[in-house]
Chain A
Amino acid sequence: MLLKKELIEKTIATGLSTGADFAEVFIEDTSSENIQLVGGRVEKANGSKIFGVGVRLALGFQSVYGYTNSKNPDDIVKLASDLSKSFSSNKVFQAVPLIKLEVGTHHKAKISPRDVARSKKVELMKAAYDAAKNYDPVIVQVAIMLGDSVQNVLIANSEGRFVSDERTHVRIYVQAVAGKDGVMQTGGEGPGSAMGYEYFFEEFDITEAAKDAARTAKTMLYADECPSGVIPVIINNKFGGVIFHEACGHSLEATSVAKNASVFCGKLGQQVASPIVNAIDDGTIENAWGSANFDDEGYPQQRRVLIENGILKSYMVDKLNSRRMSHEPTGSSRRESYRFSPTSRMSNTYIDNGTSTFDEIIAATEYGLYAAKMGGGSVNPGNGDFNFSVSEGYMVRNGKIAEPVRGASLVGNGAKILWNIDMIAGNLDRARGMCGSASGSIPADVGQPTLRVSSITVGGKKGGK
């Protein structure tokens, strides 16, 4: 065990001693490894060991948080004592005794990263490098980043919750650069999973992803600049789901909803999207990138239907924000590490399948942009304005995919774009992302089938038609 139960109980009792109505201890031990290969050679290899303890106390809406990476019991109890000075009430709450809840894992790692020789990891990376580099002579550079981590957490609170969880993640990122005549364009793919190295040894062929990154870079090298304007945009599946993640997902997190700072406040049960839209955030999908057995407050991860037939069904809510809202917590509390107090975050978020097909959507579009691959984006939850970049785009003319275009970005408003989704295909697939927000950078899947937005602002260097 990461810390003795008696020490955790003492820390909780100290935290409650001045009137806090809730105390929580989060203990983390993470070992990880990152290897970087550029130009066919391993340039950097770092291992790391993270250990820390986070203590959170709350009274009503007010919460305090502190962390340390000392293992010394006195330092940990002193942290709780220092934090408790924020409260002064005569009513002292008693902690419920801790009884460890033992459950099996839903996200088993068969081949732990710690059991894989570094040379094996390098073999994977070199195979990916060769696949991308040999794709075409215009590929001038390829960089491969491999990262794996095993995070062990122990979470306990004054309500008697006491759980541990082990989260294993592996990921390889391939970046290919195509260059000619002083112009450089890139393509990237970043497959990964919440499991061990069986993902790369048995389930997923990294060389296919590497070739695809090279193909994107080459295609974009010969692409024209994207024109600007307000046009229909067909957004492909997998990472295309970043549109929902940015445009709506963040605004459905209690972090903004609880403070009445989201455009979706007070809209539960109301139509917020076109009736063909169903959106789900599911932290229970087996071995998915954003899954875990427990959230970072120690409650089971859940499947949350956010939008059903266009009607808003649920927000994503953590325990403390639920105090501000008349909404039960949804097991959505997450954090990057003990260095962050947890808050409501997405896990694996996607728009569900519709009834059209990919071909039907292209054929039904006289003029528009087909965003085959999306980059990242961001949103202002206060008004829902979002942006995201297209990393591989094509013009669509007369119902057919036409010439490739580069440098496009899409801007719009989250609340409005949901109404403008007019066709959804049946090819749902998800892709990996790192989501940055109040409680740090966490693994999160995005996903969707190919879908069409009837009109959205496309920005590119070429300017207007």
Chain B
Amino acid sequence: MMNFELLFQTAKEKGCSDVSVFLTNRSELSIEVFDGALDKYEIADTASMVVRGVYNGKMGTFVTEVLDDKMIPSIVDAIIESAKIIDSLDDAIIYAGDKEYVKLEGLVNEDLKNQDVALKIAAVKELDQAMHAADPKVTIVETMYSETTRRVLLQNTKGLKLENSVNSAMFGGSAIVKDDTDQRTAFDLVVSNDPKDFNAAKLAKSIVSDAVAALGAKPVPTGTYEIVFHADALATLLSAFQGIFSAETVQKNMSLLKGKLNTVVGSPIVSIVDDPFQKKSSRSRSFDDEGVATKYKALIDKGELKTYLYNLVTAKKDGVASTGNGFGNAIAPINLKFLPGSSKLDELVKSCHDGLFIKDVQGAHAGANPISGDFSLQASGFVVKDGVIGAPVALVTVAGNFIQMMKDVVLVADDLKTGYYGITTPSIKVASMAVAGI
């Protein structure tokens, strides 16, 4: 392990005014079962360190996975060399710390940590068996479990030293189902740090029934439809557009939310928050990578934009305090959550005369443009005719603009779900959107 004091001293001797290290230690376990047998088993132990140093008022950065003291001179040189080419007018800030940090409980679940690996493998096999047994149309099943334990340590020359540890796991599977004319797949997972949340029977049933229900899916005629987005589909969309809340994109003229603070950007039932203290989330933190205390905040409250997400540099530019969202090289939410409404998912569906219930959208990395807000995404789900769920739908696109969509939200369900992206969402209904099919 590197001697940080020696690193700090060397950097200061070479002319750096302040230095900060951010060390991440990670242990990982991942298990995959295919056709009843253990197909993949992975273990890992890694350490990675980000070193930031201020030289002539500019911030140089170096990331290293080699942590012996012999690296110190080259790290310091690299920091100085990279600081030299920076000509941005941004301040370079190493933070002395906040008075108080929220004390987070339960981020390391001892049950998860102490559970025998054999039991974890058994759970994945149980999911595999349950999925195979759920329906004769199931042909191929893949199931997985992955667990991460992460410790981060921040230490700087301003005397700040902060530490945080979390563990978390994902448990899930995918199924391919086949009938005489069609083949469909479905995938789902549970994210938690509590082994009790990993219910193989329940998960197997929902994945397989999703896949079977999609058999025979076809495009619908091109037109405009009322759209119910399932929580999973909304999470994918929100993940694609989360960058618009970053003060950095706003300040660089690359966000649609520029100049929109305290104005209406969504319908009155749209509220989106960032909750750094969410239970069972591996992303939860009491401090960000710059050492700023994190806090719970409403981004959109009842349709009104309340704040952007800030790190130290962007906050100083806008004359506000950092929101504690400085992570690595970027500004990011910690646990983004679209607050639930009071309706039942069933009511959302029943309210549609000529609608689609979209379970899944695909291709957001390319088909959603976070700068223009436009998206056109491959979607699948079901026809909803006069409030009744009908035939399965696939290979259509649903297109719109994210801000317009937020304004067109007419119902929000109470079915909160935390998914793969670490984003928590309910299902919502949007008044109308363009759909392309046949």
Contact = CB atoms under 8 A, between A and B. Distances in A.
B46 A52 contact: yes
Contacts of B116: none
A43 B61 CA distance: 11
B85 A119 contact: yes
Interface stretch (A165-173, A190-198, A375-383): A375-383
Given A64-B42, A459-B378, 5 more contacts: A49-B65, A69-B65, A409-B363, A409-B399, A457-B397
Contacts of A64: 40-43
A380 B61 contact: no
Contacts of B399: 228, 407, 409, 459-461
Interface string A19-51: 000000000000001010011011111111111
Contacts of A409: 363, 367, 376-378, 397, 399
Contacts of A48: 62-64
14 contacts: A66-B42, A68-B45, A69-B66, A75-B45, A143-B252, A263-B183, A382-B176, A383-B182, A383-B184, A385-B395, A406-B374, A412-B395, A460-B399, A464-B223
A128 interface: no
Nearest to B140: A261
A462 B62 contact: no
B58 to A, nearest CB: 9
Interface in A98-141: 118-119, 121-122, 140-141
Interface in A404-418: 406-409, 411-413
A24 B267 CA distance: 56
B329 interface: yes
Contacts of B222: 228-230, 463-464
B363 A388 contact: yes
Contacts of A228: 222, 397, 399, 434-436
Most buried by A among B221, B224, B397: B397
A313 interface: no
A268 B394 CA distance: 28
B239 interface: no
B100 interface: no
A51 B86 CA distance: 27
Contacts of B396: 411, 457, 459
A375 B395 CA distance: 18
Judged by DSSP, the binding face of A is strand
Most buried by A among B38, B45, B139: B45
B367 A389 contact: yes
Interface of A: 33, 35, 38-39, 41-52, 61-71, 75, 79, 82-83, 86, 118-119, 121-122, 140-141, 143, 177, 179, 183-186, 226, 228-230, 259-261, 263, 339, 341, 375-378, 380, 382-383, 385-389, 406-409, 411-413, 457-464
A462 B376 CA distance: 11
B398 A378 contact: no
Contacts of B377: 387, 409, 459
Contact of B89 (A41, A141, A229): A41
The 7 closest A-B pairs by CB, nearest first: A459-B397, A376-B366, A228-B436, A387-B378, A459-B436, A382-B185, A45-B82
A386 B85 CA distance: 43
A86 B41 contact: yes
Contacts of B363: 376-378, 387-389, 409
A41 B39 contact: no
Interface in B138-160: 139-140, 142
B5 interface: no
A63 B40 contact: yes
A62 B329 CA distance: 39
B374 A378 contact: no
Interface in B24-75: 34, 37-48, 60-66, 68, 71
A66 B54 CA distance: 37
Contacts of A460: 376, 397, 399, 434, 436
B419 interface: no
A30 B362 CA distance: 33
A118 B374 contact: no
Nearest to A65: B42
Contacts of A51: 65-66
Nearest to B376: A409
Given A35-B85, A61-B37, A385-B394, A229 B365 contact: no
Most buried by B among A86, A185, A383: A383
B366 A375 contact: yes
Given A49-B71, A259-B34, A375-B367, A407 B374 contact: yes
B39 A184 contact: no
A35 B60 CA distance: 11
A43 B90 contact: yes
A339 B219 CA distance: 40
A221 B42 CA distance: 48
B351 interface: no
Contact of B43 (A66, A69, A183, A263): A66
A461 B400 contact: yes
A456 B42 CA distance: 41
A83 B369 CA distance: 43
B65 A461 contact: no
B421 to A, nearest CB: 14
Given A228-B397, A389-B363, A339 B140 contact: no
B88 interface: yes
Given A61-B37, A459-B397, A339 B43 contact: no
B48 A69 contact: yes
A127 B217 CA distance: 51
Interface in B359-410: 362-363, 365-367, 369, 371-372, 374, 376-378, 380, 394-401
Nearest to B174: A382
Contacts of A141: 252-254
Contacts of A226: 376
B84 interface: yes
A139 to B, nearest CB: 11
B403 to A, nearest CB: 10
B437 interface: yes
B438 interface: yes
Nearest to B42: A65
Contacts of B78: 47
Contacts of A86: 38, 41
Contact of B224 (A63, A65, A79, A463): A463
Most buried by A among B65, B66, B380: B65
Nearest to B366: A376
A409 B399 CA distance: 9
Nearest to B46: A69
